[in-house]
Amino acid sequence: MRKTVVVTGSTSGIGLAIATAFAGKGDNVVINGFGQAEDIKVITERLESLSNCRALYHSADMTKPTEIADLIETVAKTFGAVDVLVNNAGIQHVEKIEDFPVEKWDQIIAVNLSSSFHTMRSAIPYMKARKHGRIINIASAHSLVASPFKSAYVAAKHGILGLTKTAALELAEMGVTVNAICPGYVLTPLVEKQIPNTAKARGLTEEQVKTEIILKAQPTRQFVKAEEIASLALFLASEEARQVTGTHISIDGGWTAA
């Protein structure tokens, strides 16, 4: 059955890979995130070319609760359902706590944590009404372990696991599952952008950051691929995963086993 899938922050990286995977199997997808209108048009056209699905774009800024509510209302009005909600939008800032800009802290908590509360708050009534739904929060290895200079990100990503478990308990008898995926490093713009700042904060070259910090964290010494995360999301959205709820699945090349 064709589902309606909302993926926040899906004009790039992991979110785009997840939207592509759902569109590829015929689901209607609603994408969101920043970008130039012409680039976003190319993305929605490409998604629609993958199957006979519909791909819609909504520009909600994930720091703005009223825009987030409008995203979910628009999806429900357009497609009559919100079957799968993927909370993926995320940003990063790398700096030591005493120099960490207060507005960056607020922005990261808003996008990486509070936006998921706002999407869930709006989407849950639609899922409950149909006694079916899937909520997938894209968390991080940083939901389980910390790294220096990433205070806001680590705090938000630890928080999203608590929100995941709470929502799963509230919805356990409603046919709605809530889970988190905890990826290790994926070479997306989010990671590429933090390499220069990490190099500065740690006094290393950018190449050293890649080999001695990033890939050193992952015993496999390889980046995780966005498409691999998308495959996990497809599984969590499937009927076979109906008893998987209130938990996280790590996909981090062994990082958090250490």
Q: Residue numbers of the site for ligand NAD (CB under 6 A)?
A: 9-15, 32-34, 61-63, 88-91, 111-112, 138, 140, 183, 185-186, 188-191
Q: What sign results for the dihedral spanned by CA atoms 179, 183, 186, 189?
A: positive
How far apart (Å, rounded) are the C-alpha atoms in residues 112 and 13? 15
Q: How far is the CB of 118 from ligand NAD (least distance, A)?
A: 11
Residue 237 tokens, joined: 């959205």
Residue 224 DSSP label: B
Instruction: Pick between residue 92 and residue 245 the one whose CB is nearest to ligand NAD.
Output: 92
Instruction: Pick between residue 34 and residue 231 the one whose CB is nearest to ligand NAD.
Output: 34
Instruction: Pick between residue 114 and residue 132 the one whose CB is nearest to ligand NAD.
Output: 114
Encode 16-51: b = buried (16+ Cβ within 10 Å), e = exposed: bbbbbbbbeeebbbbbbbebeeeebeebbeebbebb
Report strand pairing: 176-183 vs 55-58. unpaired
How far apart (Å, rounded) are the C-alpha atoms in residues 93 and 101? 9
How far apart (Å, rounded) are the C-alpha atoms in residues 134 and 94? 32
Phi and psi at 203, nearest 5°, equal: 65, 40
Q: How far is the CB of 32 from ligand NAD (least distance, A)?
A: 6
Q: How far is the CB of 131 from ligand NAD (least distance, A)?
A: 29
Residue 136 DSSP label: E
Q: How far is the CB of 136 from ligand NAD (least distance, A)?
A: 11
Q: How far is the CB of 128 from ligand NAD (least distance, A)?
A: 25
Q: Is 126 a catalytic residue?
A: no
Residue in the block written with tokens 């008893």: 243
Catalytic residue among 57, 126, 153, 185: 153
Q: Which residues belong to the active site?
A: 153
